[in-house]
Amino acid sequence: MESFVVDSISVAKSADEESRSIINIPVLNTPEPPTLWEELSGSIKEAVLPQGSRFSFLSWILSAIYGLFPVLRWGRSYSFKSFRSDLMAGLTLASLGIPQSIGYASLAKLDPQYGLYTSIVPPLIYAVMGTSRDIAIGPVAVVSLLLSSMVQKVVDPAVDPIAYRKVMFTATFFAGLFQISFGLFRLGFLVDFLSHAAIVGFMGGAAIVIGLQQLKGLLGISHFTNNTDVVSVVKAVWAAVHQPWNPDNFVIGCSFLIFILMTRFIARRKKKLFWLTAISPLLCVVLSTLLVFVTRADRHGVKIIQHVNGGLNPSSAKDLQLRGPYVGKCAKIGLIAAVIALTEAISVGRSFASVKGYQIDGNKEMMAMGVMNVAGSLSSCYVATGSFSRTAVNFSAGCKTTVSNIVMAITVIIALQFLARLLYYTPVAILASIILSALPGLIDIKEASNIWEVDKMDFLTCIGAFFGVLFGSVEIGLLVAITISFAKIIVRSIRPHIEMLGRMQGTNVFCSVRQYPVASQTPGILLLRIDSSFLCFMNANFIRERIIQWVATEEGDATKKMVRARIQSVIIDMSNVMNIDTSGIAAVKEIHKELALLSIQLAIANPGWQVIHKMKLARLIDRIGGAWIFLTVGEAVEACLGAKKNNGYDC
């Protein structure tokens, strides 16, 4: 009779294991995942060929041409009505862009005409290659500050302005090359190394530094520090104030700054008067230049721009320093400038595209930005990108396409041809006031407070970038932001969450007991989920220790409270684990070994494609048992409960 009972139990066990193995066939019999070479070649093919297309040389050429020049698509349906809107938007844009370009050139420590040159070639190229309908291209404050702060460490513009200019053009050339590479090989994720929080902090710190540096023009200071940190700038201003200085510069600058801010306030209150924001800087330039010319204030201490070279962009191809001691430094400056310029342009483009309900292509944007900066470096331009203030004016003026950039560029050409001499008497203080008026838009206190409320670690990145720029330099601010961001990723990778799961009553849904306290645990089964996409050398030991600790804690509670069922099965939900390395496999082996010593069965639910493949190769499946690998958590729980009911079998 006893032998009959034992035979019945063994038959039941074998039948149960056979049924579980049948259930687990989809998990264990998946095809091999793509190899590393297949993934790389697939990425390259996706980058070169259009999605879902078969290879054809002619179709590849046509798709490449249409991809590089979106104007060929939207240009077919372009109408005269759209042109009228773009014409008005382009003229409005030029009225703001001309004085801003001159001011940003001074911020970059270049002669005024180089800012105007940068508002000609890059916008024309972007107009035929860009995917944003609203973005306005030209020099911007943050990139101008970034370039001047880094290039002057290579060559002092006061000592050798010609060499400084050559290094600036070379850095622009490298910036364009990097941007083209990002777009061609779909490396846009490199731009994402600067998180939203880092950009908010970086922009805020840069805005304050730029504002303090404008005190040189606003106060008419001749000798000023080349450092960009707030301590050096404040010391320079304090020393200059105690020297003899002409208050007329300060009066002119502040008066017109108040005028610009007043027109902006009126334009915000009355949307129909948006053009006041665009035209007020140009009015300031015209009125202040006329005032200085009539009163001959330049003879009484008011500093003026003086000579501005007119005409079209001269070639700067021979100025590029592609050999010699500066190449490595220029490449480094170009890389940083490329990332900052792309980050600003893509964020600006996406913001306005979302308002109008269309999408921009990030990779095509990178290609367009890269080509325009390479071409700009050959035509006396420095790094150009999308400007938030000018894009806002372009948007408000009712632009329909990038033709508004063409209109703006043509207007700047006309201004350089016929009006350059009239800028001779333009006071430097006016350029400072124009730059200062554009800075409040870079300091986003509201967004910083939102970051604080949502994610304290993100706020740490934000504040780190802010103080890094403010008290160190632009490079230090970027380095601090990236370091904190990577530290946050590493900490979360090293110590991932391991959640205890429970079943929602009346369902087959299993979720975190901490998040949903109503979820109930299954007696005798410890169900854990690893919240990490990669079980690897960084977190393998931590995960192993945490799981064993969970088991020890639950076993201790069961011993103290005899009512509670002893743990008979541990189910690890690997639905979040996409990959595993040899350290991770070794950790799973150790977990299985330690649980086996406690007579506890280990089961694994929903392992990723790469995970199950590597577990097979390491023969870990044979050790655990193929019958204990499940497609879903529900199947694993039911199998453990079924095994528990068999007499004489303790899972």
280 and 356 share one domain: yes
pLDDT in tens, 526-537: 999 999 999 999
What is the model's pTM?
0.78
Residues in the chain: 651
Kindly tell me if the per-residue pLDDT of 478 is higher than 90: no
Residue 478, in any domain of the structure: no
Does residue 481 sit within a domain? no
Same domain, yes or no: 505 and 441: no
Structure-model confidence comparison of residues 192 and 270, the more confident one:
270
Establish if 557 belongs to a structural domain: yes
- Boundary of a domain, candidates 428, 446, 464: 446
- pLDDT for 43: 59
Question: Residue for token digits 């649980």?
Answer: 595
Mean pLDDT within 182-208: 82
Is 421 part of any domain? yes
Number of domains comprising the chain: 2
In this predicted structure, the answer to whether residue 650 has a pLDDT above a threshold of 60 is no
Asked whether the predicted pLDDT for residue 567 surpasses 50, the reply is yes
| Whole-number pLDDT of residue 7 | 45
Q: Are residues 430 and 501 in the same domain?
A: no
Q: Is the domain of 557 the same as that of 617?
A: yes
Residue 102: domain span: 88-446
In tens, the pLDDT along 583-600 reads 999 999 999 999 999 889
Among 516, 620, 642, smallest CA distance to 572 is for 620
Q: How far apart are CA 484 and CA 471, in angstroms?
A: 17
CA distances from 191 to 42, 176, 182, 200 (A): 22, 14, 9, 15
Q: What is the mean pLDDT of residues 231-244?
A: 78
Residue 99 · residue 285 · CB < 8 Å: yes
Residue range 406-432: average pLDDT? Answer: 91
Residues 6+ apart with CB under 8 A from 29: none
Of 381, 412, 446, which closes a domain? 446
pLDDT score of 436 more than 70: yes
Structure token pair of residue 64? 């490449």
Answer yes or no: is 355 within a domain: yes
Residue the block writes with tokens 């929903």: 606
Q: Residues 247, 170: one domain? A: yes
Residue 312 lies in a domain: yes
Q: Is 503 helix (H, G, I), strand (E, B) or coil?
A: strand
DSSP 8-class letter at 48: H
> Could you tell me if 162 and 426 are in contact, meaning their C-beta atoms sit under 8 angstroms apart?
no
Say whether both 516 and 433 belong to one domain. Answer: no
Distance of CA 126 to the CA centre of its chain: 21
Q: Does 474 map to a domain?
A: no
Q: Which residue has the higher pLDDT, 17 or 338?
A: 338
Alpha-carbon separation of residue 598 from 82, 86, 558, 651 (angstroms): 77, 76, 14, 11
Given a cut of 50, whether residue 286 has pLDDT beyond it is yes
* Least confident span in 42-46, 48-52, 488-492, 630-634: 48-52
To the nearest whole number, what is the mean pLDDT of the chain? 85
Question: pLDDT digit string (tens) for 481-494?
Answer: 888 888 888 888 88
| Contacts for 323 with CB less than 8 Å, ≥ 6 apart | none
More confident of the two residues 229 and 461: 461
522 & 416 share domain: no
Q: Are residues 420 and 544 in the same domain?
A: no
Residue-wise pLDDT for 292-316, tens only, equals: 999 988 888 888 888 888 888 999 9
Same domain, 380 and 507: no
Establish if 22 belongs to a structural domain. Answer: no
Task: Say whether both 401 and 509 belong to one domain.
Answer: no
Q: Do 406 and 511 belong together in one domain?
A: no
Domain end, chosen from 424, 446, 468, is at 446
Are 501 and 440 members of one domain? no
pLDDT band at 147 (very low <50, low <70, confident <90, very high): very high
Q: Is the pLDDT of residue 388 over 90?
A: no
Q: At 185, phi and psi to the nearest 5?
A: -105, 15
The C-alpha angle with vertex 391 and arms to 386 and 392, in degrees rounded to 5, equals 145
Of residues 356 and 48, more confidently modeled: 356
pLDDT score recorded for residue 553: 81
The percentage of the chain sitting over the pLDDT mark of 70, rounded to a whole number, equals: 88
CATH at residue 591? 3.30.750.24
Q: What is the pLDDT of residue 484?
A: 87
Q: Name 503's bridge partners.
A: 510, 520
Instruction: Count helices and strands (H / E) in the chain.
Output: 28, 10
Token pair 């600058």 is found at 253
- From residue 311, how far is each of 116, 126, 154, 421, 641 by CA, in Å? 10, 22, 30, 11, 85
Report the alpha-carbon distance of residue 66 to residue 332 in Å, rounded: 32
